[in-house]
């Protein structure tokens, strides 16, 4: 008989970032199905789902409900960094672990979080190092008005200015806002060499559509002359972008059809793959270890090898830079096995971090 282990899923199936949530949910459920059907595994997962519906105030209470009332000690979930930071105090209070399967901005450490997607030395910095020699060093920075947008643009500004470049403009929108007109007018005037898009959800979709329209008016804003870069747009959002996605350049550990990570299977996006690998890694760590689901994360990881660095709780990932061509990502450059470095302490070429309190 397999022992049954409750596994929390905390993902919003509606709201501004529902497409990413659905991709993560699909990956997690696919891994649960694989584990439960594997007769060589001595465990099975029982998913315990809670849906915050994109309401930031719901994440903490729903995470507490999972950990306090269901017996689950591990939770796969959260999309935005805002929601992740909302639940970290809860998982710390109840001795749980959050498995976070979405790219993020780094500069975070918790004994109760595992990061199975990329941090800046695995997405943003390689992307900037690719674009500046090929397109130029004058950048326009956009972002949603919360931690992800602020910190991504801070790091980009430091990297660009250290390379002798210039930030021609920087503007933020509230999550869900479609008011991109001022950004487009600023771009028309500033005429940068590239744009870093750290918007999320409908804000990003509206911006990409408006930028495509601008490019049809003025060839200076065609993808070949002034590309839009992203570290969070993947295949799961291409249907929402439509033709506006053409020419988008993105960085990530996986794109559809690319081999090498997480090593087996075909996934619709890196979000799906990261959630799948989170559940598979958790199963590997728990297999044959009765009661291990209740252990502290440090004890669970100690001496077990695998994809999670026990010191940083980040994963070793490939870095792919890819461009959307005819509705699909085509890889332009790839780097194998880059260790997550959330505080950018291992790279001499990385910008010196300027730490500040973010509330």
Taking residues 206-224, what's their average pLDDT?
97
Domain with 209 in it: what CATH number?
Answer: 3.40.50.2300
Model confidence pLDDT, tens digit, residues 296-305: 999 999 999 9
Taking residues 46-73, what's their average pLDDT?
97
Q: Which residue has the higher pLDDT, 352 or 252?
A: 252
Whether residues 52 and 169 share a domain: the answer is no
CA torsion 154→155→161→166, rounded to 10°? -60
Q: Is 358 domain-assigned?
A: no
Whether residues 67 and 169 share a domain: the answer is no
Q: Given pLDDT bands bounded at 50, 70 and 90, which one contains residue 347?
A: low
Whether residues 107 and 193 share a domain: the answer is no
Least Cα distance to 32 among 296, 318, 279, 233 occurs for: 279
Is residue 355 scored above 50 in pLDDT? no
Taking residues 162-174, what's their average pLDDT?
97
The total number of residues written for the chain in this structure:
359
Q: Is 90 domain-assigned?
A: yes
The pLDDT value given to residue 1: 85
Taking residues 349-356, what's their average pLDDT?
48
Whether residues 80 and 34 share a domain: the answer is yes
Q: Is 24 domain-assigned?
A: yes
Q: Is 249 domain-assigned?
A: yes
> Rounded to two decimals, what is the model's pTM?
0.94
Whether residues 244 and 158 share a domain: the answer is yes
d(C-alpha 54, C-alpha 78), whole Å:
10
Characterize the bridge pairing of strands 138-144 and 194-198.
parallel
Buried b (16+ CB within 10 A) or exposed e, 1-16: eeeebbbbbbbbeebb
Taking residues 107-129, what's their average pLDDT?
97
Model confidence pLDDT, tens digit, residues 64-99: 999 999 999 999 999 999 999 999 999 999 999 999
Whether residues 215 and 322 share a domain: the answer is yes
Going by the DSSP 8-state scheme, the letter that residue 287 receives in this structure is T
Least Cα distance to 273 among 317, 242, 309 occurs for: 317
Least confident of 28-42, 93-107, 340-354: 340-354
Is residue 314 scored above 70 in pLDDT? yes
Is residue 357 scored above 50 in pLDDT? no
Is residue 354 scored above 90 in pLDDT? no
Tokens of 336: 């194998």
The pLDDT value given to residue 125: 98
The pLDDT value given to residue 117: 98
Whether residues 47 and 96 share a domain: the answer is yes
Is residue 353 scored above 60 in pLDDT? no
d(C-alpha 107, C-alpha 211), whole Å:
31
CB burial of residue 70 (10 Å; 0-12, 13-18, 19+): middle
The pLDDT value given to residue 135: 97
Helix (H, G, I), strand (E, B) or coil at 98: strand
Whether residues 270 and 129 share a domain: the answer is no
Q: Is 236 domain-assigned?
A: yes
Whether residues 93 and 171 share a domain: the answer is no
Quote the domain boundaries for residue 20.
3-118+260-316
Whether residues 106 and 47 share a domain: the answer is yes
Taking residues 199-208, what's their average pLDDT?
97
Characterize the bridge pairing of strands 138-144 and 3-10.
unpaired
d(C-alpha 104, C-alpha 271), whole Å:
12
Whether residues 335 and 195 share a domain: the answer is yes
The pLDDT value given to residue 350: 46
C-beta separation of 301 from 285 below 8 A: yes
| Domains identified in the chain, total number | 2
Q: Is 113 domain-assigned?
A: yes
The pLDDT value given to residue 256: 92
The pLDDT value given to residue 99: 98
d(C-alpha 247, C-alpha 324), whole Å:
5
Tokens of 133: 């020699």
Per-chain mean pLDDT for the chain: 94
Whether residues 25 and 93 share a domain: the answer is yes
């Amino acid at each position: 008989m397999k022992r049954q282990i409750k596994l929390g899923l905390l993902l919003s199936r509606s709201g501004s970032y529902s497409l990413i949530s659905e991709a993560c949910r699909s990956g997690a459920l696919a891994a649960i199905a694989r584990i439960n059907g594997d007769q060589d595994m001595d465990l099975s997962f029982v998913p315990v789902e809670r849906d915050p519906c994109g309401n930031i105030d719901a994440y903490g209470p729903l995470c507490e409900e999972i950990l306090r009332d269901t017996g689950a000690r591990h939770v796969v979930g959260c999309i935005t960094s805002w929601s992740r930071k909302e639940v970290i105090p809860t998982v710390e209070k109840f001795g749980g672990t959050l498995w976070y399967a979405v790219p993020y901005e780094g500069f975070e450490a918790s004994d109760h979080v595992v990061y199975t997607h990329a941090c800046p030395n695995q997405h943003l910095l390689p992307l900037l190092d690719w674009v500046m020699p090929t397109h130029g060093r004058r950048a326009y920075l956009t972002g949603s008005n919360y931690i992800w947008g602020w910190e991504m643009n801070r790091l980009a500004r430091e990297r660009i200015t250290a390379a002798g470049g210039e930030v021609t403009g920087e503007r933020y929108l509230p999550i869900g806002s479609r008011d991109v007109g001022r950004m487009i007018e600023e771009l028309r005037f500033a005429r940068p060499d590239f744009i870093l898009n750290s918007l999320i959800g409908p804000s990003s979709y509206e911006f990409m559509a408006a930028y495509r329209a601008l490019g049809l008016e003025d060839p200076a804003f065609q993808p070949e002359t002034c590309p839009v870069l992203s570290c969070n747009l993947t295949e799961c959002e291409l249907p929402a972008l439509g033709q506006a996605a053409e020419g988008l350049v993105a960085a990530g550990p996986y794109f559809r059809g690319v081999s090498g990570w997480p090593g087996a299977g075909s996934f619709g996006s890196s979000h799906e793959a990261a959630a799948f690998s989170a559940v598979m890694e958790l199963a590997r760590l728990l297999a044959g270890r009765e009661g291990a689901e209740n252990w502290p994360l440090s004890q669970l990881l100690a001496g077990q090898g695998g994809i999670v660095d026990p010191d940083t709780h980040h994963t070793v990932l490939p870095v792919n830079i890819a461009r959307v061509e005819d509705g699909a990502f085509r890889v332009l450059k790839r780097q194998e096995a880059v260790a997550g470095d959330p505080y950018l302490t291992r790279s001499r070429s990385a910008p010196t971090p300027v730490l500040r309190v973010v509330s």
